[in-house]
Amino acid sequence: MTTIRSTIIRGAAAVVLATGATVLGAAPANAAPDTWAAIAVSVETGNIGYSYEQPSGSAAASAAENECGASDCRSFVRVSNGCAAVAQARNLAWGWAYAASLEEAKRAVVRATPGRGARVLAYACTGAHR
């Protein structure tokens, strides 16, 4: 569990949570099939939970929400056979992204987060993508 109490704003996080979780289902040809990772965030506490190597998207989301450790934890992003990342900008806007590799996911989430100075707060990968 990671805590980001000093950088979370309920309104900014609620906008992201209201849009729902993002799911990636495509896998590279050489990836192990049917493995999932997820990242969950608590708006109230700022906790972040993650999971990896789960058998399904729903199992990954549940594991991430449980690891987050707060009653309001919700899955932000799920990924199958790749990496997911969550970031927050200086203006406290949230972003999430996924890609085939960790470095690609980190670059993508910084670009996808509205505002300047986005920093990666959490990431989760499956299999050889770590």
One pLDDT digit (tens) per residue for the chain, 130 residues: 443 332 333 333 433 433 334 444 333 434 456 799 999 988 778 789 999 999 999 999 999 999 999 999 999 899 998 999 999 899 988 888 999 999 999 999 999 999 999 999 999 999 866 5
pLDDT at 14: 34
The domain tally of the chain equals: 1
* Calpha distance 27→44 (Å, rounded): 34
Residue-number span of the structural domain to which 38 is assigned? 2-129
103: enclosing H helix or E strand: helix 102-112
User: Which phi and psi angles does 85 have, rounded to 5°?
Assistant: -145, 150
Residue 9: what pLDDT?
33
Look up residue 92 and give its two tokens: 């406290």
What is the dihedral sign for C-alpha 71, 75, 130, 80? positive
**Beta-strand runs (E) in the chain:** 2-3, 22-24, 36-41, 47-54, 74-80, 83-88, 94-99, 119-125
Quote the pLDDT of residue 94: 81
- Residue 129's pLDDT is 63
pLDDT of residue 31: 44
